[in-house]
Amino acid sequence: MIFWHATPSTRPLSSSTSPANTSSDQSPVSEKEAKYYYYGLPSCPRLVARSSSLTIPWKEPTGPEAYLPRKELLPAGGHALGAVWDKLGQSIVKLLDAEKVLWNSLDVVRIGVPEEKPAPVVWVGINPGTLSPVKGFQVALNCKELLEENGIDDVHVEMRESVVWGL
């Protein structure tokens, strides 16, 4: 795995805000969260949806010195998910296909500030512009339910726009 380190380690956030929408026909992910949730990752992926949106709200930095923490991709090893991933990964793929999600990658990683030892997430890459945040949120919740049915209660599902290039 390659880790990218760049300065500055944080980024100022503009002062304009847009609150997250939480009605059943709208995504709980705000436009600002979609844009900045993965700040620090080299590919600058756009968040489409995450199963933790309602239980772990995104906290927008506030105040005159509002900065976003720079996130990194970290290995997810040493977690119970590894023991059931072969079967569970196939179940998630079947669910994504049944929902007609145009996905292009499926990874188990930790995403966050290294000092905080973030929990693993199932990270689903989606072809850009092919999945609405509302449907993405529902699919993420369905994937999370599969995890829980297999005894994995502490892993969430995140979906981001992604382009995969063949070499």
User: Which long-range CB contacts under 8 A does 17-24 form with residues at least 24 apart?
Assistant: 17/60, 20/53, 20/57, 20/58, 22/54
Q: What does the mean pLDDT of the chain come to?
A: 86
Q: How many CB atoms lie within 10 A of CB 139?
A: 26
Q: What is the per-residue pLDDT across 40-88, written as a single tens digit (0 to 9) for each?
A: 999 999 999 999 999 999 988 888 888 898 999 999 999 999 999 999 9
Supply the pLDDT for residue 167: 85
Query: Residue 18 above 70 pLDDT?
Result: no
Q: What is the per-residue pLDDT across 23-36, written as a single tens digit (0 to 9) for each?
A: 456 678 999 999 99
Query: pTM for the full model?
Result: 0.83
